[in-house]
Structure 1
Amino acid sequence: MSVWKLVKLKFGNSPVHFGEVGIGLEESSDRIRSDALFSAWVSAYARLFGKNAVEELLQRFLNSPQPPVRMSSTFIYSQSDGKNEIYYLPRPLKFPINYPDNDLEFFKTYKKLTYLPIQVWHRWYQGEGFTDSDARELIAHTKKEPSDSTALNRAGTFNYNDTSKRAKHPKIAVDRVTAATNLYHTGFVQFKWEQQNNEIRSLSGLYFLLEFPEEDKPLETNLRAALNLLGEEGMGGRRASGAGRFEVEWESSLPDEWQKILNPSSEMSLHCAIGLFWDDDESVLQQLITEKCSYEIQERRGWISGSPSGRNLRRKSVQMFLEGSVFPRPPLGKLADVTPGNFTNHKIYRNGIALSLPIKVKREKISRG
């Protein structure tokens, strides 16, 4: 029986800079995807336990019948009243159960709900589905009018953008040869926090899920130690400026609301990815990419440092399915070898091992010719 863990990253008053494909230095994503999280985590694991230990761990991912752990991407959590926590999940790329055909009055508002509180996510995609009161509340929110329905608002459906703030900080670049200066700006995201006496308290941050195929205390202990080291060093860009530092809160057991999502009361026919997915086996992809699926893909690329010349080298790029993609069966995935051709120090992998949640969606009408 698999073992699930929920891990929270508390950034306090430390800003973050998470680079993303298509986002320039002046902008920052508000979260980090599973492939980037895996890379940063494995790098910290190698620094803490050494080359042999990390190679042994990677071999378990590459050669075992099932990986030692699956991880989701990070998503935002927030404390609405200082006590109750709201966890956001990506909205699946399918309409929820009972979603109406006549949605013109609120579709633009619905489409902007890229992330849903897990209570709403569970109700729409595992429970009773979309209701008439949901439609009325979305219409009222679109028109900025009072609504007799407040379930979505109480759950935090419309408050996602309030969980963090974005800012651009001016920086100066100095040319090493001419000493000429150049002004530029770097984007940062600041999660909500407060100070009580001399204590910094996080009011929002990031979380992710882990699924172990079975209890593995030694691996869990080592992963926790490596993640704590990563928190001290910082994750993402601009770490030299103090960005990306966090404290780790590793939940010993999942809250009841998560248990309901992992163990739905009725049968689910589809699966929604909550981490990036990659596979190069055509037979596997043919079974997943059917008329029942709905997906979004993105080219994942980036740079590595550590070449003998000291130069940064571009990793090989791969196309990956994004979070929210819906498949007719659980996507499994693999590690993708993205080692540059002229890099011989060690192998570089990008994590395409998927993690997904069971869902059911609105039945699509069958068109008849």
Structure 2
Amino acid sequence: MEPVRVNLGPRSYDIRFAGDLGSFADFVRLSVPRAKLALVVADTHTERHATTVRDALESVGLRTGMAVVPSGESSKSLAEFGKLLDALADLPADRQTAVVAVGGGVVGDLAGFAAAAYNRGLPLVMVPTTLLSMVDSSVGGKTGINHAKGKNLIGAFHQPAGVWIDPAFLGTLPDREFRSGLAEVVKYGVIQDAEFFAWQEANAAAILARDLEAVRYLVAKSCRLKADVVEQDEREETGLRAILNYGHTFAHAFETVGGYGAWLHGEAVAAGMVCASRLAEKLGRIPADVTERQVKLLTAFGLPLHPKAEWPIEPMIDVMRRDKKAAAGRLRFVLPTRMGHVELVDGVPEDLVREVLC
């Protein structure tokens, strides 16, 4: 598999697809050539992978430390962030010390934010181990932690020095985690590439069976699609990068009100996309078949289509008012205009939002 290059001038980096840890160690050496020390960060589910990564780094002369956080969304907290800063101080880390994040989106977001903050920025290498982190959170430089008032409210843009993706990690990924990651893959088809969406429809069975060729293609394609957006709007300043948040305004409300960890992120995104698409229908922006195609594919992938009935609507609306895309309390949503294209829509009436949440 050919590398995907994310072209960002002096912050450019490669996404490499391989499974040889000897090559991984060489990749880290090339990505962070001045590093002599590395902190490997994992959670309790990826500690075994992180130990292998640490051994590979030590084989090429890097001194390493390791920090392990509890698995789950609750680790994206100020408390765990502080512990990582303590671990870096204890090494002690200098400005060339690499932070190597081995895990899913939680590990990548948390370790990435620590790398962004310590000494005003340390080099970061992402080693995603879940489908969701491979196709989404490891690419693009968004890092952060959660706040009781909203998901990812505290964070920073901090591009990695490199991303290493080994599809073999997916062989041991629990089925629920794998399906969760597929929500972000579906998203890329809706927002950018109608042909990619159609490919997923035609290959749903092979994808669910984790056919190696199908998985390799969907991971590499998703990374390329995200890189295309990030290259044009790295820090969400032109509005283009906001398209990557399709379904996420709803999803973050579900995660906040339902309690972090009640749903996996991709599960919330799946239901959020359906809500956003139904909202677009109510606004007359799309015909019903655009929504129904999404519903059919998400159903095939075993993902939820609507929030849980017991989650109160008004607190969800309140979370949406604080969403990063909101402006002066006015709700803004990324909504489809056709399959393969979405737009950021301002001033959406709250009554319509309540209707799609019912």
TM-score by length of 1: 0.21
Higher strand share: 1
User: Highest CA radius of gyration, 1 or 2?
Assistant: 1
Tell me the TM-score normalized by structure 2: 0.22
Higher helix share: 2
